Structure 1
Amino acid sequence: MTYRVIAMAALLGSASTLHAGGIDRSGQSITALFESGRYAEFSLGSVSPNTSGVGPNAIPPTGVGNSGNMTDNFFTFGAAYKADINDQLSYAIIYDQPFGADVDYPADADYFAAGSSAEFNSHALTGLLRYKMPNNFSVHGGIRVQTIEASAAIPFIANYSVDGDRDTGVGYVAGVAYEKPEIALRVSLTYNSKISYDVRTSENSLLGSNVTETEVETPQSVNLEFQTGVAADTLVFGGVRWVDWSSFEIAPNDYSTLTGGGKLLSYEDDVYTYSLGVGRRLSDTWSVAASVGYEKSNGGFSSNLGPTDGNKSLALAATYTRDSMKVTTGIRYINIGDAETTLGGGQTAATFEDNDAVAIGVKVGFTF
């Protein structure tokens, strides 16, 4: 079993979270830590979502207008470097953009949220150390330094807008893995801690202009990832990711006042994301893989700034290898789960159906 097939497993696994629940984007993968020797990689992802909804005629003030596509295209970038200290110890430095949102309702739409927008950006740098034990088990852990910044404009709520300054927080990573190299078997379990922030927040609305602090915590999560050879040059891989989205919220002071305790962004349920795939080496230079992804629909109302509920996906990838370089490309089609939003009172404000997204990813890795 060659590392070329394993590289595709890593790319397709991370691609499954490019349009996952909450504002999950990278999946916080640490697969670079398990590469052989000294290794460096760079990855780029592009996602083109199409998400639109319709306000039902019976519920003012929504009218019957279509929202238009309210999700902008976005890019993600990642990089990693891994090296061995000795036969038992190795380390990795990983950069990713774990959480993000780009919402932009067309201003000319005949829709109650026309002109509303929101943006959430994050950057994380993770330093990991891994210790191999004699019995095929290993433990890994380290520190994650992460920055976030956010802004939003919601004209239909008292002409409200908000800007959150960039803030930095620190969390940790801890996990365990089991490997059997002769059959390309690896199972890893990794915990990512929550990270807390006190964001300086500038709010503007009919209440005036006010500057306060907003407490934000990016959620804790657990990644269970596996791969194993099942035949010559054939690999099965997959994983489960749990994210504690039910504990996440952004609730600036003035927004809560204007909405009677409402939150700018929050989620009722945790999210589980599943993936399963198979990879096959075709020759010394080419390998291919396919995977499926699933995220359960939880029901209930979704946020007007994130009107999705679960998804299903299908991905294909290919890897070209030459000397110490491997280039992996993948494409994933995501069927976005239907969702309903509300303006309060337990009534439906809009219905979002038949939406989808296409994600394209490229990863270049070097062993040296």
Structure 2
Amino acid sequence: MNFLRVKALLGAGCFSLALVGTAMHPAHAGGLERGGYDIDLLFDPAPFATEAEATFVMPDRKYKNARGPGGLDLGFGTTADGAEDYWVPRIGGKVQVVQGVDCMVDYSQPWGAHTAPGVWNGAFSNMETDIKSDNYAATCSYKMDAGKGQLRFIGGVFYQKVYGFKEDLVSPLVPNFGGTGRVDLTSSGWGWRAGLAYEIPEIALRASLVYNSKVKLDNISGTLDLTNVGGVVLPIYGSTQYMPDVVELKLQSGIAPGWLAFGSIKWVNWSVLQSVPICVVGTPAAACVTGDALHSAQITSLDLMYRDGWTVSGGIGHKFNEQWSAAGQLSWDRGTSHGYGAQTDTWTLGGGVAYTPKPNIEVRLAGAIGVLTSGHSGTVAGENGYVAGTDASYDFGNDLVTAISGGVKIKF
């Protein structure tokens, strides 16, 4: 294989996965996923590399035919917005410590959700929910020669903070629907990752399999504010929960001079998040469980009722010359909602370009458009006799989601 072909393949391989993935993944992911986990920077061949990127996601989910408790039309409105626009930032740096050993540190926001339907027939269930996260990670790898390529062992740790609030209607008798209650919660925990990768740089081949552990949240705490309905602010806590573990297989290979094919399969254990019971401080932990009124001391709950998520994607990248490259990708994401919630299957098409004005600088711009498929949200039976969705039911059609993303990488 001649040098020009090698260089073209490597050029395509360096940009394509990060280029399209930046806009694609937050645009369609299920559960609470936003930026997810990404360690692609670790594979950059430069001794030192740093990158920063941001994605703006615009989901256009609409609720319709909404009903309140017992299927009643409460007269508050049968339609509402089902999702809000949001940003997903990421910044990281990678360094070759010694020959064969690379390490990276990064900040990201892997999880999040924001809905603000306001005053509607489902207001007793949700007027606004906003969940955010901060993730600080350190990941290293050791690579060694193996056959025609190199085998890489990957390991790392991350510290994660998850926090947010939920506001819903407690009493409609307060003027201007001001009779609301608000729950504020925060928690944090540690996780780890491990994986393997095999690379043949001459043909831009890379296969990686990475496992990211669960994050145990056993310190969930916050407040329940009932002052708008004549109550007080109560200190509260939630029972131990876990953010999901994730397994992702990524593949890429040069297929012709300047051309690269790539794809991935990802499983996320979202079924670990069902209903989060919330209790007043002082309630015994054994009583703070999800269940019916006779078997639970919860004062309220955060109902998610997820099933596991699967994401499958594939695409093609091409390097036109030393300055310009482009890539496109198609993805399918299995919805994590199954009867409760509005996270159904999503199909997303994305593409982007990369401009390299100098060998050590790369500027990326990407976009994506997808279809959020239709469905219905109602009651779903969970564990211990608990039933979610009794406060609201609604339909939703096939809606659009779009995203734009930009980023810059500098390497030496």
Give 5+ residue unaligned stretches, structure 2: 1-8, 172-178, 281-287, 381-386
Residue in 1 that maps onto 2:135: 124
**2:174 is equivalent to residue 174 of structure 1:** no
The answer to whether the aligner puts 1:224 opposite 2:249 as a matched pair is yes
Deviations 1:147-176 (CA, angstroms, capped at 9, x unpaired) = 1111000215894420013x3311111110
> Could you tell me how far apart the structure 1 residues matched to 2:379 and 2:202 are?
57
- 2:99 paired with 1:87: yes
- 2:400 matches 1:356: yes
Q: Who is 1:300 aligned against? A: 338
- Verify the 8 A CA contact 2:307 2:337 in the aligned structure 1: no
Distance 2:84 2:143 in 1: 43
Is the CA contact (8 Å cut-off) linking 1:117 and 1:152 kept in structure 2? yes
In structure 2, the residue matched to 1:144 is 158
Alignment gaps of 5+ in structure 1? none
Task: Report the 3-state secondary structure (helix = DSSP H, G, I; strand = E; otherwise coil) of the residue aligned with 1:17.
Answer: helix
Aligned length: 362
Alpha-carbon distance between aligned partners in 2 of 1:309 and 1:51, rounded to the nearest angstrom: 11
Contact 2:199 2:207 in 1 (8 A): yes
Aligned to 1:102: 114
Q: Secondary structure at the match of 1:85?
A: strand
Q: Shift of the alpha carbon at 1:355?
A: 1.4
Q: Is the 8 A contact 2:348 2:369 kept in 1?
A: yes
In structure 1, C-alpha distance between the alignment counterparts of 2:331 and 2:129, rounded to whole Å: 27
In 1, distance between residues paired with 2:322 and 2:376?
Answer: 49
Between 6-15 and 211-220, the greater mean CA deviation after superposition: 6-15
State which structure, 1 or 2, has the greater radius of gyration over its C-alpha atoms: 2
Residue 182 (structure 2) aligned to one of 153, 158, 161: 161
Aligned to 1:12: 20
Q: Which of 262, 267, 277 does residue 251 from structure 1 map onto? A: 277
Task: Give the corresponding residue for 1:67.
Answer: 79
Aligned sequence identity (%): 24
| Code of the aligned partner of 1:364 | V
Q: TM-score, normalised by structure 1?
A: 0.90
- Is 2:375 the partner of 1:339? yes
Aligned-residue CA RMSD (Å): 2.6
Counterpart-to-counterpart distance in 2, 1:62 and 1:309: 26
Separation in 2, partners of 1:190, 1:353: 35
CA contact (8 A) 1:201 1:252 kept: no
In structure 2, what is the Cα distance between the partners aligned to 1:59 and 1:257? 23
Q: Does 1:279 align with 2:312?
A: no
Q: 1:298: how far off?
A: 6.2
2:214, 2:242 within 8 Å by CA — same for their partners in 1? Answer: yes
2:339·2:379 contact (CA, 8 Å) conserved in 1?
Answer: no
Is the 8 Å Cα contact of residues 220 and 243 (structure 1) preserved in structure 2? yes
Q: Deviations over 1:291-337 (max 9, x none)?
A: 0010124673123xxx2212000001001012110011110002112
SS at 1:187's partner residue?
strand
User: For 1:291 and 1:247, how far apart are their aligned partners in 2?
Assistant: 29
The structural deviation recorded for 1:204 is 3.5
- The 2-side partners of 1:85 and 1:162 are apart by 45
Please identify, of 258-267 and 74-83, the stretch whose mean Cα deviation from structure 2 is larger: 258-267
Q: Distance in 1 between matches of 2:76 and 2:257?
A: 57
Deviation, 1:342, is 1.8
Q: Which residue of 1 aligns with 2:88?
A: 76
Report the residue type matching 1:224 in the other structure. L
Alpha-carbon shift at residue 80 of structure 1 (Å): 1.1
